[in-house]
Amino acid sequence: MTLGMRQSDVSAVPKCHGQIALRSVGSRTALAESLLARRGSGGTFRTVGEVDTDSSMATRLRQLFFPHRWRHMRSVDSRFQLTRDPDNLDAWRILWEGRQFGRTEPLRALQRVPSSSCFIVASGPSLSSQDLSVLRNRTCIGVNGSIVKAEEDGLAFDYHVIADRKFVVDRFALVERVLRSSASCILSFRVLNEICIRQPELLARDRIFLGTEMNSAYGVERLSPAAFDRWVGARNDVIVPGRQGLHRRARRHPHRVGFSKRLETGVFTGQTIAFIALQVAYALGARRVFLLGVDLGGGENAGRFYERGAKTAPTRLGRDLEPYILPSFALAGGLRESEGFSVFNLSPTSLLPEATIPMLSIGEALALCDRSESNDGYTGR
């Protein structure tokens, strides 16, 4: 059962989740609902379902009046809805304005990696100097805009992970390319929402899977930090660090730093998409994972390999590195002994400490794969 899921079916969440959530905060609710529903002169205010997602006024109202435990839902347009598929309760129907445009498949239907090795291809600047064509016969997980380099080098990803709604807002053309590819797509509900706002027809494809961030499930109230810690303490499919050694910001958001062994339970974000992909790789059976383009702001260019100048989207890597990213990868690096799960860094400019994640060249990584898979009895795809 997904974290925080009530016994009642989540499909019962009403269409206007924003308004429903707001009703739980008393007097602030009436003000928020009246502001969001009122039509001012010239149409300044519109109904919740019509609010422009780029409207600064709408964003401020949501931030001010959404209850804290529902804030993971505040960007969701009321015209968007996920409901349980009556024929398979582990799948979701994707609705926009009451019409079904797509369907997610159960996470258990995700094909496991055919060998024990897997490459995660991120979007750091160092990726531009890599030749991805050497990975054509390897299992690869793409994230966000790394499809640009993959297509240039003739590489087809097996899986693609997108969790941040801002990537859809800023780079929708790249999202289109991902959805038109052959990859199994693991997408968050916020990403599905943004796709529906722009072009819901793109979701009429197979192999779409709903990825859930820890303690941020669709239509489910978040647990408090204390309740979350109690929940984690009762499970054996998640690993979390001791709270005392964490940055104060991470202690306020314990659902961001940890490691999940099961996608159905949810994934810890680590505040970087590469860390989500790392948990996907583990859950699908990989035991040796190689990271490309996970620069984390290292090198001369702190952006993404496909961005230049004014077109560079803002990044939070500098803010999130110490509180969330480094402790998350440190936790993953420690799984070599306890879980037989090894992670290697192929980015020469990465800010990940080599003591945490060992560094290899791509040639060394391929040689290690060949030796290990020969020992495993793997004979190729």
CB 135 within 8 A of CB 304: no
- DSSP string of 21-84, one letter each residue: HHGGGTHHHHHHHHHHH---GGG-S--GGG--TT-HHHHHHHHHHS-GGGGGGTT--TTEEEEE
Alpha-carbon distance 223 to 2, whole Å? 12
DSSP conformation class of 221? P
* Range list for CATH 3.90.1480 in the chain: 113-376
- Bridge partners (DSSP) of residue 345 are 291, 359
Query: How many CB atoms are closer than 10 A to CB 108?
Result: 10
Query: How many CB atoms are closer than 10 A to CB 248?
Result: 7
- DSSP string of 115-140, one letter each residue: SSEEEEE---GGGGG--GGGGTTS-E
Architecture of domain 113-376: Alpha-Beta Complex (3.90)
Prediction pTM value: 0.82
Q: In tens digits, what is the pLDDT along the chain, a chain of 381 residues?
A: 455 433 333 443 434 444 444 344 444 444 555 555 543 434 333 333 444 444 556 656 666 677 878 889 989 998 999 999 999 999 999 999 999 999 999 999 999 998 899 999 999 999 999 999 999 999 999 999 999 999 999 999 999 999 999 999 999 999 999 999 999 999 999 999 999 999 999 999 999 999 999 999 999 999 998 899 899 989 999 998 866 566 555 555 666 789 999 999 999 999 999 999 999 999 999 999 999 999 997 555 555 555 554 456 556 566 788 888 999 999 999 999 889 999 999 999 999 999 999 999 999 999 999 988 767 655 565
CB 185 within 8 A of CB 86: no
